[in-house]
Structure 1
Amino acid sequence: MDETFFFVGLALAGLAMAVSGPIAFVLVMSQRKRIAQLEQRLARFDRLPPAAQAPAPFAARQPATRPEPAPEPARETARPAPTVLPISASPPAIEPKLPRPSFEERFGTRWVVWVGGIALAFGAALLVRYSVEAGYFGPGMRVVSGFALAAGLLAVGELLRRRLRGSLPVPTTWPDIPAMVTAAGTVALFGTIYAAHALYGFIGPEITFVALAATGFGVMSAALLHGPALAGLGLIAALGTPLLVGGGGSPWPLTVYLPAVAASAYGFAWYKGWRALAVAAAIGAGLWALLLGLVSMKASDAAAAQIHGVLQAALASFVFTLSHRATPAEEGRLDRSATAALMAPSLVLVALLGTTMAQGYGAAWILAAVAAVAIPAAAGFLVVPAAAGLVIAGVALSGAIVLWPPAPDEHWVSFLIRLDTTDPGLLLAFAALAGVGIAAAGALRLIGGGRLPLATALAYAAGATLTPLAALSLTYLRLAQAEVSPSFVVAAGVVALAMTWLASVFRAQRERTPADALTIGLGAFASAAVAALALGMVFAVSGGSLTVAMALAALGTGVIARRLDIPALRWCVAGLGIVVAGRLAWDPMVVGGELGRTPILNWLLVGYGVPAFAFGLVSRIIRLPDTKPDAPPLIAQALSLLLAAFLVFFEIRHALHGGDIYALDSGLLEHGLLSLSALGFATVLVRLDGVHGSPVLRFASLAFGVIAFVQSLAALGLAVNPYFTDEAVAGGPVFNEILIAYGLPALVALALARTAREKRPQWYVLGAGGVGVVLCFLAVTLLIRHGFQGAQLGIDRETSQPEWYAYSAGWLLSGLALLAYGLLRQSLTARLASAALVGLSTLKVFLFDLSGLDGPLRALSFLGLGAVLIGIGLVYQRFVFAPARAG
C-alpha cells in the first residue's frame, strides 16, 4: 500500500513538473513584456534611445536639424540590451518594413509550442500505458487518473486563456498556447472515456456514445473561445465516436446523430466565419454516407443510409448557398464553392442509389433519387450564383435513370415498350416531372433574370434544355432498348413542341426588352427543339443511333447560332461533338448488326454518313469570319473526318463480307482497299489544308498518312501477301486483286508524295514516295508470278526460268518508268527510286540469272540489262547533268 501511494505521488509530482514548467515559462515571458514597456517609458524620460519596439515614433518627434546625439557609455545591466535600430537625422519617408522573424523567434514562439502540445497529448497516453504495463494501478485508478489529467489540462488551458488574452496581442503566426493545452486535455478526456468502455467495460456503449458525443460537442463549443483548430478537433472526435463505440448493428441512430454533428459544425462555422470547418463537416458527412451505403446488408440499413444522405445533402446545400441568397441577378456570377457544395452531395446520393440498390428498392430509395435532383435544382433556382445547380440536377437525374433497379424478369406491353425495370410507370413519371421542373426553373430564371452574367445564363440554359433531352434519351434506352417505339416518338414530338413554344416566348420577350439572357434562352430552346426532333427520328427507325440525333442536333444548333448571331451556342455544338466522340470511343460501331446486304446503300450510310455530313457542314457554318478557327469548328471538323473514316472502313468490310461487318477474317483485297482509302484521305486532306489552313486537316493528313504507311508495309508486304500466305488470288491474268490491292495504292502514294512536297515534313514526303515504290515493286512482281503460277503464288512453288527472266524485265521497265516520270516532273525522289529498282535488277542478274538461267535467256538477260544501263547513262548525260554549252 505504501508503495502504491509512493508511486501515485511520484506520478502526480511528475505531472505537476511537466505542467508547471511551460506555465512558468509563459508567465515569465508575459512579465518580461511588461518590464520592457516600463523600460521604454524610463528611457524617454532620460533621453535614451528607445527600445526596438518603437523606432518610428521616436524618429518622427526629432527636429529635422537636430544633430546626432553623442554616444553614451554602455550601462551595466543584468540582461542584454535590446536591439536598437539606427536613427537618422531626418525622419524616413516611409515606415521601415518589419524584419523577418529570426530563427530564435521561430523556435521560441512557434516550434516549441507545437511540439509541446503534441508532447502533452502523447505524454498523457504514454503515462496511462506505462501504468498499465507496470501494474501500479488497478483499472479504476487508471480511469480516475486519466480523468484527473484531462481535467487538469483543461483547467490549465482555461487559466492560461484568461491570463494571456488580456496582455499584449499575439501575432497571428504564433500558435495559441491556451488552445494547445486545451486540445491536449481534450485528447486525454476522449481517450479516457473510450478506455473506460473498450478496455475495462466500466460503462456500456450507450453511455460511452453519449459521453464521447458530448465531449465532441463540448470541444466545438469551447472553440468559440480558443479558435477553429480546436473546433476541428472536436468535429473529428464527434464524427469518430460511432466508429470507436460501434453499436447494436442498427444505423438508424446515426441518421439523427451525424446530421446533428454536421449542423453544429455548420452553425459554429457560420457564426465565426470558419469556412474550413464547414468544408470539413461536409467531407465527413459525405464519407459517412458512402460508408453506410457500403456496409448496408439489408433493406432497413439501406433506407437509413439513404435518409442520412438526404439530410446531409439538404444541410450542405443550405449552408453553402444561403450566403448568396440576396445577391442580385446582375451580380450573380457563378460561385465555385456553392457549385462544389451542390455537386458533391448530389454525387454522393447517386452513389448511394447504386450501392444500396441490391439491398432493396422502396420509398427511401425513391426519396433519395428525388432529393439528388430536387436539392441542387431548388438551390440553383433560388440562388443565382448557384445556377450550376440546374446542370448538377440534370446529371443526378441521368444517374438515377441509369441506376433505376431492374425488374426480375422482362415482359412486353403495348406500343412496343419493353419493361425491364421495376415500376416503369414510376420511372416515367419521375423522369418527366424532373425534366419539366428543371426546364421550367431555367426558363423562368432566364426570362426574368435581366442582365444575368454570361456564364450564369449559359448554366441556366444548359440545365433547362439538356436535362429533358438526356432524360428522354436515357428513359428510351432503359425501356425501349433502342427499338422502334411510337410512344417515345410522340414524347419527342411533345418535347420539340414545348421547346419551340418556349423559343417563341423568348423571341417575343426579346423584341420588347432586348437582353443577353433572352438571346441565349432563345437560341438554347430553339436548338433543343431541333435536337428533340432528331431524337424522334431515331426513336422511329429500327437500329437508329443517338449519334445521328446528336449530329443533327449539332447541325441545327449551328444554324440557329448563325441565324440569330449567338456565338455562345457554338460551344453547345462543341459539347455535342464531345458527346459523340465519347460514344465512338466507347463503341465505334454505332449501328446494329442488321444492316442489309446491299453495298453502299445500307444503314452504315445513315449511322456514319449522316453525322459526318452534319458535322462537316456545321464546321463551316459556325466558323467565325476573318479569324482563325477556334475550338468549336475544329471539333466538328475532326468528328466529320473521323466519322467519314469509319464509314469507309465499315463499308469496305460490309461489301467484302456479305453484310457482316463483325467478320473475323480479312483478306488481300480488304487490306488493299483500306490502304487505298487511308492514302486517299491523306492526299485529299493535304490539298484541303492548302486551301483552308486548318490544324485539324494538317494533323489528320499526317495521321492518315502514317496509318497508310504502316498498313501498306505490314499488311500488304507481309501479313496478307499471297506469296507468303499462298491464298488464292481472284481475277484474270491482268485485272485481279493484285492490281487493286497493290497497284492503285502505289499510284495514290506517289501522288501523295508529289502533293505533300513543300507542304509536309521531308520524312513524310519520303515515306509516301518509298511506300509507293515498294507497292509498285510488289505489284509488278506478284503480277508476273500470277501470270506464270496462276491463282496460287506460294513461296514453296517452283519458279521457272522464263519467270526469273520476266522479273528482271519487269523491274527494269518499272525503273525506266520512274526515271521518265522523274525527268518529266523534275522529281529527285522518283529518279532515286528508279535507281533503286535498276540496282536491284542488276544484282538479280549477276547473282541469280548467271547461275539460274540457261541458254538464250541468260544471254538476253545480260544483253537487256546492258542496253538499259547504257541508255540510262545516256539520259543522265544528256538531260540531267548535261554540261552548259559554250556561248
Structure 2
Amino acid sequence: MDDSIFLFLALVGLALAVSGPAGLIVALVQRGRIAELERRLAVWERASSAREAGPRPLAPDAPRADAPPPQPVPAPPEPRAQSAETAPKTAPKIGPQPPPQAPPQAARPAAARPSLEERFGTRWTVWVGGLALAFGAALLVRYSAERGFFGPGVRVAGAVLLALGLLAAGELLRRRLRGEASTPPTWPDVPAVVTAAGTVALFGALYAAHALYGFLGPLAAFSGLAATGLAAMAAALLHGPALAGIGLVGAMATPLLVGGGSASLWPLALYLPVVAGSAYGFAWLKGWRALAVAGGLGAAAWAVLMALHAAGGGAAQADLVLQGALAALVLAVLPGRAVAQTEARLDRFAAGALAGVVLVAGAVLGLTADEGAHAGWIAAALAAVALPSAAGFLAAPAALGLPVAVVALAGALALWPEFGPAFEPDAVAPANDPLGLWLGTDAPGALPWFALAASAAIVAAGALRLLGGSRLPYATALAYAAGAALGPLAALALAYLRLSGGAVAPGFAAAAGALAALFCGLAALFRRQGEGTPSPALTLGLGAFASATVAALCLGLVFALSGGSLTPALAGAALATGLIARRLDIPALRWCVAGLAALVAGRLAWDPLLTGPGLSATPILNGLLIAYGLPALCLGLAAWVIRRGAPDVPEQVAQAVSLVLAGLLVFLQIRHALHGGDLAAPGTSLVEQGLTTLSALGFSLVLGRVSGAAASPVIRFGGLAFAALALVQGALGLGLAANPLLTDEPVAGGILVNDIVLAYGAPALAALALARASRGRRPVWFVRAAGLLGLGLAFLGTCLTVRHGFQGERIGLDRETGQPEWYAYSAAWLVLGLLALAYGIRRGSTLARLASAALVGLATLKAFLFDLAGLEGPLRALSFLGLGACLIGIGLVYQRLVFAQKPAEEAP
C-alpha cells in the first residue's frame, strides 16, 4: 500500500514539474501568434489608406505668350461619398469597351515556414503525447502485474476501461474543438491522436485477454479484434486517414495474433475481403488513395501467405478472385467510369493496380498448381484474365487492362499444371487423337477451352470498345487494339508449344485458320463501320485485325509444316503488318513491327539453333534458309516498307534483327557444308575459320558501301560490328585456334591452290579491299585496322604457304626446317614487301609503304642475324646479294618516286 502512495506522489510531482515549462511554452507560442496578427493588421490598414487616397491630379502647363486667353470652364461638381445603394446607375455603353481594371490590392506576405518553436508546440507534443498515452496504458498494466496489486481480470477490465475512456475523450475533444476556428492542415489533429491511442489500447487489451490470460477464446478474440479494426476505420470518417490506417493494420494483423482455431483457411478467405472491402469503401468515400493502396498490399500479402499454406490452395484461390475483383473495381473501374471519351487518357495508376493483381495471381497460381483443386485453379486463372479485361472494357482510362490480360493469359498457359486423372477420372489418351492435343499434359481437354474462353473475353472487350469509342484518344485506342489482336495469337502459340512440343499439329493449323477467318471478319466489320463514320480508332482497329489475320495464317503454316518454328511466322507477320501500316497509314502499327522483331530476337536469344534435329545434309538448300534466311528477308523488307524519312526506332529494330539473322545464316551454312550437316559437330577447321572471317569482312564491306549520311545507325554500326568480328576471328581463329603451324592438321591442296590460300589469302584481299573502300567513309582508325588485318593475314598466309611447299600437308612446328626453306622465307618477305611498296606508291597509301618497310626490315634482320650463321655455301651469298639488290632498288624508288624534289616554279 505504501508503494501506491509513493507512486501517486511521484506522479503529482512529475505533473507539477512539467506544467510550469509547458505553460511557459504555450505563452510564448501565443505571444508570437499575437505579434504576427498585429503585423498583418498594420499592413492591411496601410494598403487600405493607399487605395482611398487615389492618384493626385497633374499641375497644368504654363500658358505660352502667343496663345489665346483661356476660356472659362465650368468647374465640375465635387464628388460626394455615396454608398452602393444610393449610387446612380449608369446606362450601358455601346461598342467595344476596354477590359475592367481590377483595383490594386496589397501584396500578401509570403507564408513563412513554421519555426522550430511552432513545430515543437503544435506537432511534436501532440504526436509524442498520443504515443505516450498508448505506452502509458501498457506500462500501467505491466506495473500492476509485477506488483500484484490486482488480479488478471481487474487488469484486463482496467485496460479496457482505459481504452474506452481514451475513445470517449477523443470523441469529446472532437465535438468541442471542431467547432472552433480551423487549424492549419500541417498541425496534427488532437482528437484523432487521442482516439488512435484508445484504439491501440483496446487492441492490446483484447489481445492480452486472449493470449496472456485465456479469458477469450479464439473466436471471441478474433471477433473482438476484427470489430475493433473495422470500427476504427469507420471512426476515421470523423477523425482522418491516420486512424483508418491503424484500424486497417489491426484488422489485417488479427489473424496472425489470434488464429482461427482450426486448420481451415476458408473463414479467413471470407474475412479478409470484408476488411479490404471496408478499407476500399472508406477510401472511396473520402478520397484516401493511400488507404486503398495499403488495403491492396495487405490483401496481396495475405493471398501469398495463404498459398504457401499446405492445404490453402482452394481458399487462396477464392480469396484471390474476391480481392482481385475489389481491387479492380475500386482502383481501376470507379475512377474512370465518369470520364468522357475525348478525355479518356490512359491511367497509369489503374494500369499499375491491374498489373499488381495479375502479378499476385501469378504467384498464387504458381504456388497452388499442384494442390489438387483443379476446378478452383482454372476458375482463378480465368478470373485473372477476365478481371483486367472487364476493367478495361468498363472504364476507358483503364484500357491498358487488355494488354495486362494478355500477360495474365500467357502466364496461366505457361503455369498450367498436369492435373492427371483426378480431374477427369475416365480420361484416357486415345490411340489416334485427330487434334494431337495429348502430348503436354494429362488433362489437355481443359487447356484449349480455357485458352478459347480467355481469348474470347479479351477480343470481345477490345473490339466492342473500339467500335463504340470513335472519339477515344489514340493511345487508348491503341491499347484496345493491341490487346484484342495479340491475346488470341499468344494463346494459340503457347497452347501449341505446351501441347504439341513443336511437332506437326494439323488441329492447331485448323485452329489458326479459324482464328484468321475471325480476324478477317472483324477487319471487314471495322472497314464498313469506318466508311460510314471515319475515326482514328476504327482505322487502328482495322489495321490491327488485318495484321492479326496475316499473323494467324503464318502460325497455321508453321503448325502444318515440318520443323515448325515461330520465327518465320513472326517475321512474316512483321512484313504483313508493315505493308498494312503503309497502305492504311497507321503509324502505331510500325511499333507492332518492332515488337514482332523483338519477339524474334528473344526467340533467337533463348535458342540460337532454330532448325531442330531433322536438318537436311544438303548444302545451301536446307532448313537454314527457312529458319534464318526467310525471317531475315521478311524483316529487312519490313524495315524498308515502314521507313518514313529519317530512321527511327521501329525501322532500326527490324534492321538489326534482320542483320543478325543474315549473319547467322551465312555462318551456319558454312559450318553445315563443312561438317556434313551436323551443326553441333565438335571442333573447327582452317577453311571454316577462313570462310567465316571472309564472310564477316564481306558483310562489313557491303554495309560500308550502302551507308551514308542518311543511312540508319544500324547500318553504320553493323558494318563496324562485322569488321570487329572479322578482326577477332582472324586473330583468334586463324592465328591460334586453327593455325596448322600449331595444330599440325593436314593441309589439303597443292602448292598454289590449297587450304591456306583459301583461308588466309581470300580474307587478306577482302580486308585490304575493305580498307580501300572505307577511306573517306569510315574513321581513320577503322581504315588502319582493316589494312593491318589484311597485311597480317597476307604475311601469315605467305609464311604458311612457303612451309607447305617444303613440308607437305603437315607443317607443324615440331618438323625440321631446312636451309632452302629459310632462304625462301627471306625471298617471300622481300617479294611481299615490294608488292606492298608498289601498292603504296600507286595508291598513295602511307600504311602500305610502312608495311613494306617493316617487311624489308624483317628480312634484313633475318639475313644478318640468322642467314649469316645458319646458311652455308651459295645460299648465304645469294641471300645477301638478293637483299642488297632489293634494298638498293627500294632506295632508288624512294628517291625518284616518293620523295623526289619538285622543280621550282618560274616567277611570273
Partner of residue 578 from structure 1, selected from 586, 589, 598: 598
2:545 matched to which residue of 1? Answer: 525
Partner of residue 193 from structure 1, selected from 206, 213, 236: 206
Distance (whole Å) between structure 2 residues aligned to residue 616 and residue 438 of structure 1: 32
1:643 matched to which residue of 2? Answer: 661
Is 1:866 equivalent to 2:891 in the alignment? no
Distance (whole Å) between structure 2 residues aligned to residue 143 and residue 464 of structure 1: 61
Is 1:705 equivalent to 2:723 in the alignment? yes
Distance (whole Å) between structure 1 residues aligned to residue 582 and residue 284 of structure 2: 48
| Residues 30, 164 of structure 1: 8 Å contact kept | no
| Residues 416, 484 of structure 1: 8 Å contact kept | no
Q: How does 1:21-32 map to 2 (within 5 A)?
A: 29=26
What displacement does 1:696 show?
A: 0.6
Distance (whole Å) between structure 2 residues aligned to residue 695 and residue 63 of structure 1: 68
What displacement does 1:134 show?
A: 6.8
Distance (whole Å) between structure 2 residues aligned to residue 23 and residue 439 of structure 1: 74
1:797 and 1:56, CA in 2 relative to 1: closer, same or farther beyond 3 A?
same
**Alignment-mate amino acid for residue 864 of structure 2:** F
Distance (whole Å) between structure 1 residues aligned to residue 686 and residue 148 of structure 2: 87
Q: How does 1:128-527 map to 2 (within 5 A)?
A: 139-140=152-153, 142-247=155-260, 248-295=262-309, 297-298=310-311, 301-320=312-331, 321-406=333-418, 413-415=432-434, 417-419=436-438, 420-527=440-547
**Alignment-mate amino acid for residue 375 of structure 2:** A
Distance (whole Å) between structure 1 residues aligned to residue 815 and residue 652 of structure 2: 53
**Alignment-mate amino acid for residue 576 of structure 2:** G
Aligned residues with identical type, % of pairs: 60
What displacement does 1:4 show?
A: 5.9
Q: Cα deviations across residues 354-385 of structure 1 (Å, max 9, x unaligned)?
A: 11001114221111011111111112112211
SS class of match (2:564):
coil
| Residues 25, 121 of structure 2: 8 Å contact kept | no
Distance (whole Å) between structure 2 residues aligned to residue 367 and residue 23 of structure 1: 68
1:553 matched to which residue of 2? Answer: 573
Which stretch of the first structure deviates more once superposed, 111-120 or 305-314? Answer: 111-120
Q: How does 1:604-623 map to 2 (within 5 A)?
A: 604-623=624-643
| Residues 7, 136 of structure 1: 8 Å contact kept | no
What displacement does 1:468 show?
A: 1.0
Q: Cα deviations across residues 482-541 of structure 1 (Å, max 9, x unaligned)?
A: 111111111111111111121112112212221111111111111111101110110111
SS class of match (2:665):
helix
Distance (whole Å) between structure 1 residues aligned to residue 120 and residue 104 of structure 2: 34
1:71 matched to which residue of 2? Answer: none
2:41 matched to which residue of 1? Answer: 54
Q: Cα deviations across residues 398-436 of structure 1 (Å, max 9, x unaligned)?
A: 211121112559876423614122432221112112212
2:557 matched to which residue of 1? Answer: 537
| Residues 653, 670 of structure 1: 8 Å contact kept | yes
- Unmatched tracts of structure 1, length 5 or more: 41-48, 68-89
Partner of residue 740 from structure 1, selected from 758, 761, 765: 758
| Residues 203, 225 of structure 2: 8 Å contact kept | yes
**Alignment-mate amino acid for residue 513 of structure 2:** G
| Residues 232, 247 of structure 2: 8 Å contact kept | yes
Is 1:628 equivalent to 2:642 in the alignment? no
Q: How does 1:724-803 map to 2 (within 5 A)?
A: 724-803=742-821
What displacement does 1:697 show?
A: 0.9
| Residues 437, 444 of structure 2: 8 Å contact kept | no
1:87 matched to which residue of 2? Answer: none
Is 1:660 equivalent to 2:678 in the alignment? yes
2:99 matched to which residue of 1? Answer: none
1:748 and 1:380, CA in 2 relative to 1: closer, same or farther beyond 3 A?
same
What displacement does 1:168 show?
A: 2.5
1:278 and 1:548, CA in 2 relative to 1: closer, same or farther beyond 3 A?
same
| Residues 596, 602 of structure 1: 8 Å contact kept | yes
Distance (whole Å) between structure 2 residues aligned to residue 715 and residue 516 of structure 1: 56
What displacement does 1:99 show?
A: 2.1
**Alignment-mate amino acid for residue 551 of structure 2:** A
1:133 and 1:734, CA in 2 relative to 1: closer, same or farther beyond 3 A?
farther
Distance (whole Å) between structure 2 residues aligned to residue 23 and residue 542 of structure 1: 93
| Residues 412, 418 of structure 1: 8 Å contact kept | no
1:78 matched to which residue of 2? Answer: none
Q: How does 1:66-81 map to 2 (within 5 A)?
A: none
The count of aligned residue pairs is 847
What displacement does 1:28 show?
A: 8.9
What displacement does 1:32 show?
A: 7.7
Distance (whole Å) between structure 1 residues aligned to residue 686 and residue 42 of structure 2: 93
SS class of match (1:495):
helix
| Residues 679, 705 of structure 1: 8 Å contact kept | yes
**Alignment-mate amino acid for residue 315 of structure 1:** L
Distance (whole Å) between structure 1 residues aligned to residue 320 and residue 216 of structure 2: 31
User: Structure 2 length normalisation: TM-score?
Assistant: 0.88
- Unmatched tracts of structure 2, length 5 or more: 55-102, 422-428
What displacement does 1:141 show?
A: 5.1
What displacement does 1:692 show?
A: 4.7
Which stretch of the first structure deviates more once superposed, 532-541 or 434-443? Answer: 434-443
1:79 matched to which residue of 2? Answer: none
What displacement does 1:391 show?
A: 1.8
1:77 matched to which residue of 2? Answer: none
1:31 and 1:533, CA in 2 relative to 1: closer, same or farther beyond 3 A?
same
Which stretch of the first structure deviates more once superposed, 378-387 or 110-119? Answer: 110-119
2:871 matched to which residue of 1? Answer: 853
Q: Cα deviations across residues 111-131 of structure 1 (Å, max 9, x unaligned)?
A: 443444444444554555566
1:815 and 1:32, CA in 2 relative to 1: closer, same or farther beyond 3 A?
closer
| Residues 404, 422 of structure 1: 8 Å contact kept | no
**Alignment-mate amino acid for residue 319 of structure 2:** H
1:119 and 1:740, CA in 2 relative to 1: closer, same or farther beyond 3 A?
farther
Distance (whole Å) between structure 1 residues aligned to residue 684 and residue 23 of structure 2: 86
1:788 and 1:265, CA in 2 relative to 1: closer, same or farther beyond 3 A?
same
Distance (whole Å) between structure 2 residues aligned to residue 829 and residue 667 of structure 1: 31
Larger Rg: 2
Distance (whole Å) between structure 2 residues aligned to residue 411 and residue 750 of structure 1: 65
1:667 and 1:194, CA in 2 relative to 1: closer, same or farther beyond 3 A?
farther
Is 1:569 equivalent to 2:589 in the alignment? yes
| Residues 568, 631 of structure 2: 8 Å contact kept | yes
Distance (whole Å) between structure 1 residues aligned to residue 897 and residue 143 of structure 2: 103
Which stretch of the first structure deviates more once superposed, 412-421 or 634-643? Answer: 412-421
1:832 matched to which residue of 2? Answer: 850
SS class of match (2:827):
helix
Distance (whole Å) between structure 1 residues aligned to residue 789 and residue 255 of structure 2: 71
Distance (whole Å) between structure 1 residues aligned to residue 28 and residue 174 of structure 2: 16
What displacement does 1:91 show?
A: 8.5
| Residues 388, 459 of structure 1: 8 Å contact kept | yes
Distance (whole Å) between structure 2 residues aligned to residue 527 and residue 691 of structure 1: 33
1:379 and 1:24, CA in 2 relative to 1: closer, same or farther beyond 3 A?
farther
**Alignment-mate amino acid for residue 542 of structure 2:** L
1:23 and 1:361, CA in 2 relative to 1: closer, same or farther beyond 3 A?
farther
1:108 and 1:478, CA in 2 relative to 1: closer, same or farther beyond 3 A?
same
